[in-house]
Structure 1
């Protein structure tokens, strides 16, 4: 699972993803552990989806999610991952 952290080429964090996902990363990790999911979470550089940010990508499924800016959004995405279907509420 990739979570955009908006790091740019010069190493400066900018944008909506950086502001929103920094606080959510610990929650995402905790929820994955609590649910017993076999998922590795990695924060990334800018994924060039700023208008949809914060952005999360689930691979190998190739599911892109936007507006992942709350614990409720994370829960919906992880629920979908457990069910094998992407959460339609945040799917890009």
Structure 2
């Protein structure tokens, strides 16, 4: 497999019950991951796109599910299945971020 041109990293961190911080897994991260996987399957871009679940915290838990896109270093928050499709298509087809879904500066 060649090096991917676009790599979507979806936070799927699961914290123990009662933990004081929220986690992306409890906010629907698996649905988000599935949506990205479905877009990858539908587009057949396996040679240029990679979708990965990240099992450790990516940081801004209150904004989860979090998606980071590399090599662009673009971060998104509150990504549901509908947003996932738009983010995927915009990065893969246009090479552009979806500004209205991006995390704001100072979120971390």
User: Common fold, TM-score beyond 0.5?
Assistant: yes
Matched, 1:6 2:5: no
The question of whether the paired residues in 2 share the 8 Å contact of 1:16 and 1:53 is answered with yes
Whole-Å separation in 2 of the counterparts to 1:68 and 1:30 = 15
Give the gaps of 5 or more residues in structure 2: 1-7, 104-108
Alignment of 1:46-65 (within 5 A): 46-65=57-76
| Higher gyration radius (CA) | 2
Where do 5+ consecutive residues of structure 1 fail to align? none
TM-align CA RMSD = 1.9
After TM superposition, the score normalised by the length of structure 2 is 0.70
Query: Could you state the TM-score of these two structures normalised by the residue count of structure 1?
Result: 0.81
Paired position in structure 1 for 2:51? 41
Which 4+ residue blocks in structure 1 deviate beyond 4 angstroms?
none
Q: Residues 43-88 of structure 1: CA distance to partner in whole angstroms, max 9, x if unpaired?
A: 111111112111001111111111102x210111012112111011
Q: Does 1:68 align with 2:76?
A: no
